[in-house]
């Protein structure tokens, strides 16, 4: 009887929490995002606060270890708030497929349902999983953290067996495998002239779940370019009738030009923005391949132009590091992570980081791709992508041991918050440098300016000058971030010896840069 009373009390607390929070919270995600003021943190609930007590990297349920759930995820929300996070991108939370699967838990993106939550994310208490998820969202809202959830692009093979009419068929009338994603099958969303009402209905149910049941603030659409613009336009309009501030972020890039299959449409990023998306990924993930200043600067300018092409404000995320990208630590070590951090904090974009970035996780799992003694799917191997956050198994909580990077992460986000007006309203100005690997830019607003310059060469030191009119040795400034030597001010230019991967952030008052 005591247990029953306790469970009733828990349910009442959950109910009261929702009522109180709903009365106070008002979604402002679209404005935050289009003003370039979102600091987005990407999490996988299944690993976000997993309890790997024996530290072997995998969750051993037979040893009473606990994977991440909506309930224990609440424990980390204060941590995120203290890191400066104001928006969460939650990787898919819908049921996952178990047939023809990848990994022992199943890929988060192999959706077996679009209107039911993944029972793997449920705490053992008898409280309904929707209630647990809703409480997580409400607790995030209490801390000023908005929540957007991932909308998978494809369906699991399990869903195909249940509802084959939802899927694209090849010439042999078999479901189509998109690209090399062998654990999913391609949904048939239709064309620009005829939208498939069955698939649209499934996605409409997802929107209902997201807004009406969970109270989230937006959606990140996985592989958005594999559905027609007409499909998205109708779905986004439907969501905005419920919540005008509901945010839509498209996983799409100006670098991508090919469809995931010859059986599906390809909708470019600009048509997605025209259909109602508030922003997209851009191509900042190509930073690891850029060695010339113009590659970075031109992409920033390119996105500034895009933002001004539409009647509704648009923006982009700093997609330098995502769950699809190799850990920055593995790419170019600590300097690369710091460069990503300060670019995200000083460019007119929305900052974006995967779970584990602040402490330098390399996402290397000792057990990866080895045979497992037990599986929850028909795959008995721990399938994993080397150097990328695990989305296929019940694995450890993401995180590294880099305390220096953690301090830098907090400091950079604090600085980003202090220049919010600059990032929203400032003029972006390219500054001239005398070396190809040295980039430089300024953001100017209300007689205040931030100047950023760095070295895209992660192997060699470079002695270089940055042209900056109206500056001399007596100009006052704050050195917010200086990697290596202090810059030397001369008349009309800044000089320094850049160490490999160095980045500098200087703040000026009463200085107008044209």
3-state SS, 2-17, equals HHHHHHHHHHHHHHHH
Mode of pairing for the β-strands spanning 146-151 and 218-221 = parallel
Q: Which fold has domain 2-290+314-337+353-405?
A: TIM Barrel (3.20.20)
Alpha carbons 168 and 481: distance in angstroms, whole number: 51
- Extract the runs of DSSP E, i.e. beta strands, from 246-401: 247-250, 279-280, 315-316, 351-354
DSSP state of 126: S
Alpha carbons 396 and 237: distance in angstroms, whole number: 39
Q: For residue 324, count other CB atoms closer than 10 A to its CB.
A: 14
Each residue's pLDDT tens digit, 237-294 = 999 999 999 999 999 999 999 999 999 999 999 999 999 999 999 999 999 999 999 9
Residue 5: phi and psi, rounded to 5, are -60, -40
Mode of pairing for the β-strands spanning 247-250 and 218-221 = parallel
Residue 381: phi and psi, rounded to 5, are -120, 145
CB 307 within 8 A of CB 313: yes
Q: Which two tokens stand for residue 317?
A: 């995320």
Alpha carbons 269 and 250: distance in angstroms, whole number: 8
Residue 175: phi and psi, rounded to 5, are -65, 145
Alpha carbons 460 and 362: distance in angstroms, whole number: 24
> Where in the chain are the domains?
2-290+314-337+353-405, 426-509
Alpha carbons 227 and 191: distance in angstroms, whole number: 8
Q: Which two tokens stand for residue 315?
A: 């923006």
Q: Which two tokens stand for residue 48?
A: 């976000």
CA 336 to chain centre: 18
Q: For residue 460, count other CB atoms closer than 10 A to its CB.
A: 11
Q: For residue 244, count other CB atoms closer than 10 A to its CB.
A: 9
Using alpha carbons, list the distances in angstroms from residue 487 to 144, 267, 453, 478: 38, 46, 11, 11
Query: Mutual orientation of helices 328-346 and 403-418 as an angle, nearest 10°?
Result: 20
Answer whether 0.85 is exceeded by the pTM: yes
Low-confidence stretches of the chain (pLDDT < 50) are 1-13, 15-21
Domains 2-290+314-337+353-405 and 426-509 share a fold: no
Q: Residue 198 burial (CB < 10 Å; 0-12/13-18/19+)?
A: middle
Q: Residue 26 contacts by C-beta under 8 Å, 6 or more apart in sequence? A: 245
The CATH architecture assigned to 426-509 reads Sandwich (2.60)
pLDDT of residue 511: 74
End-to-end Cα, the chain, rounded Å: 74
Q: Is residue 201 left, alpha or beta, with left meaning phi > 0 and alpha meaning psi from -120 to 50?
A: alpha
- Sign of the C-alpha dihedral computed for residues 91, 97, 100 and 104 taken in this order: positive
What is the helix (H) or strand (E) element at residue 503, kind and residue range? strand 503-509
Residue 322: phi and psi, rounded to 5, are -140, 180
What is the helix (H) or strand (E) element at residue 147, kind and residue range? strand 146-151
Instruction: Using the structure block, give the residue that is written with the tokens 């898919």.
Output: 92
Residue of 98, 143, 41, 16 lying closest to 380 (CA atoms): 98
pLDDT of residue 23: 58
Q: Residue 152 contacts by C-beta under 8 Å, 6 or more apart in sequence? A: 92, 94, 108, 109, 110, 111, 114, 184, 222
Residue 426: phi and psi, rounded to 5, are -75, 160
């Amino acid at each position: 009887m005591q247990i029953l009373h306790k469970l009733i009390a828990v349910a009442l607390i959950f109910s009261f929490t929702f009522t109180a929070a709903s009365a106070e919270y008002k979604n402002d995600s679209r404005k935050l995002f289009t003003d370039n003021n979102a600091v987005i943190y990407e999490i996988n609930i299944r690993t976000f606060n997993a309890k790997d007590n024996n530290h072997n990297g995998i969750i051993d349920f037979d040893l009473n270890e606990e994977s991440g759930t909506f309930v224990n995820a609440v424990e980390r929300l204060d941590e995120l708030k203290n890191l400066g996070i104001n928006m969460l991108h939650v990787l898919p939370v819908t049921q996952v497929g178990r047939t023809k699967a990848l990994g022992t838990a199943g890929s988060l993106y192999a959706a077996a349902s679009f209107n039911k939550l993944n029972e793997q994310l449920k705490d053992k208490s008898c409280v309904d999983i929707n209630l647990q998820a809703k409480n997580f969202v409400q607790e995030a809202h209490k801390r000023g953290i908005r929540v957007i959830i991932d909308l998978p692009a494809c369906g699991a093979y399990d869903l195909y067996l249940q509802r084959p009419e939802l899927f694209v068929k090849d010439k042999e009338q078999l479901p189509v495998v998109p690209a090399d994603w062998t654990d999913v099958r391609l949904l048939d969303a239709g064309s620009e002239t005829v939208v498939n009402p069955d698939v649209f209905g499934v996605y409409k149910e997802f929107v209902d779940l997201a807004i009406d049941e969970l109270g989230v603030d937006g959606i990140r659409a996985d592989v958005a370019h594999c559905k027609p613009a007409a499909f998205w336009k109708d779905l986004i309009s439907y969501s905005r009738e419920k919540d005008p501030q509901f945010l839509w972020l498209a996983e799409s890039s100006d670098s991508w030009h090919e469809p995931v299959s010859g059986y599906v449409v390809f909708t470019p990023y600009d048509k997605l923005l025209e259909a109602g998306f508030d922003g997209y990924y851009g191509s900042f993930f190509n930073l690891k391949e850029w060695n010339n200043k113009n590659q970075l600067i031109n992409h920033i300018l390119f996105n500034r132009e895009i933002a001004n092409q539409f009647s509704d404000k648009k923006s982009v995320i700093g997609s330098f590091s995502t769950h699809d990208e190799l850990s920055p630590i593995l790419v170019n070590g600590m300097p690369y992570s710091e460069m990503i951090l300060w670019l995200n904090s000083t460019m007119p974009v929305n900052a974006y980081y995967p779970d584990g970035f602040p402490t330098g996780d390399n996402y290397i799992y000792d057990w990866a791709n080895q045979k497992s003694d037990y599986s929850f799917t028909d795959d008995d191997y721990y399938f994993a992508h080397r150097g990328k956050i695990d989305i296929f198994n019940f694995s450890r909580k993401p995180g590294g041991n880099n305390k220096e990077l953690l301090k830098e992460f907090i400091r950079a986000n604090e600085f980003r918050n202090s220049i919010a007006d600059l990032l929203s309203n400032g003029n972006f100005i390219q500054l001239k440098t005398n070396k190809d690997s040295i980039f430089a830019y300024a953001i100017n607003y209300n007689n205040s300016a931030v100047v950023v310059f760095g070295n895209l060469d992660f192997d060699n030191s470079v002695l270089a000058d940055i042209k900056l009119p109206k500056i001399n040795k007596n100009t006052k400034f704050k050195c917010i971030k200086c990697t290596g030597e202090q810059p030397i001010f001369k008349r009309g230019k800044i000089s320094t010896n850049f160490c490999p991967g160095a980045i500098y952030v200087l703040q000026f008052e009463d200085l107008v840069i044209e």
